Amino acid sequence: MRRKFLKILTTSLTAIFIAPFNLAYAVTKKIINKNLTEEQKDILFNEGTEKPFTSALLQENRKGFYHCANCGNKLFSSEAKFDSGTGWPSFSEALPGAFKTKVDFSFGMMRTEYHCAKCGAHHGHVFNDGPTTTKKRFCNNGLCLIFKPET
């Protein structure tokens, strides 16, 4: 009982603490790539999620960079990619300044959602259970990314 109360208290305090950051978080979402599919738009602008194990990028092992499918912003290096087994492309770190984050309380969970810092499009959620020294796991919808191999 006491433990449950403490958990609720901690969650509430965290929400209060984080609220000002969410208020400060204001990015205008803007469609830049006119060739986006309906599925891509649903994820990028309505915070949808693609079906796990459907992204061709799960098998992508070449060296290069992952860019925002909407605006082309460079987001991840292939060096940070790893197989998390979740069915979504996963990365241990993002390139500096690539994203802005916001706490998301949907589905009864407290998760950190991230958006492209340049165009505001939703990309995925970041968790603190990554296997590398960063401890981060950026769980990214493959449809939001465009991979450009190193030439």
Burial 1-10 (b: 16+ CB within 10 A, else e): eeeeeeeeee
- Using CB atoms within 10 Å of the CB of residue 144, give its burial: 0 to 12 exposed, 13 to 18 middle, 19+ buried: buried
Task: Tell me, yes or no, if 116 is annotated catalytic.
Answer: no
- Using CB atoms within 10 Å of the CB of residue 47, give its burial: 0 to 12 exposed, 13 to 18 middle, 19+ buried: middle
| Residue of 70, 84, 90, 140 interacting with Zn ion (CB under 5 A) | 70
Part of the chain binding Zn ion (CB under 5 A), chosen from 65-73, 77-85, 95-103, 105-113: 65-73
Does 145 help bind Zn ion (rule: CB under 5 A)? no
Least distance to Zn ion, CB of residue 67, Å: 8
| Residue of 40, 73, 92, 141 interacting with Zn ion (CB under 5 A) | 73
Q: Restricting to residues 119-138, which ones interact with Zn ion according to CB under 5 A?
A: 119, 121
- Using CB atoms within 10 Å of the CB of residue 121, give its burial: 0 to 12 exposed, 13 to 18 middle, 19+ buried: buried
Does 146 help bind Zn ion (rule: CB under 5 A)? no
Listed residue (79, 77, 91) closest to 130, CA to CA: 91
| Residue of 43, 44, 57, 68 interacting with Zn ion (CB under 5 A) | 68
Decide: 102 and 47 in contact? Cβ < 8 Å.
Answer: no
Does 71 help bind Zn ion (rule: CB under 5 A)? yes
Residue whose CB is less far from Zn ion, 18 or 27: 27
Residue whose CB is less far from Zn ion, 28 or 106: 28
CA distance 14 to 11: 5
Binding interface with Zn ion (CB under 5 A): 68, 70-71, 73, 116, 118-119, 121
Kindly list the catalytic residues: 139
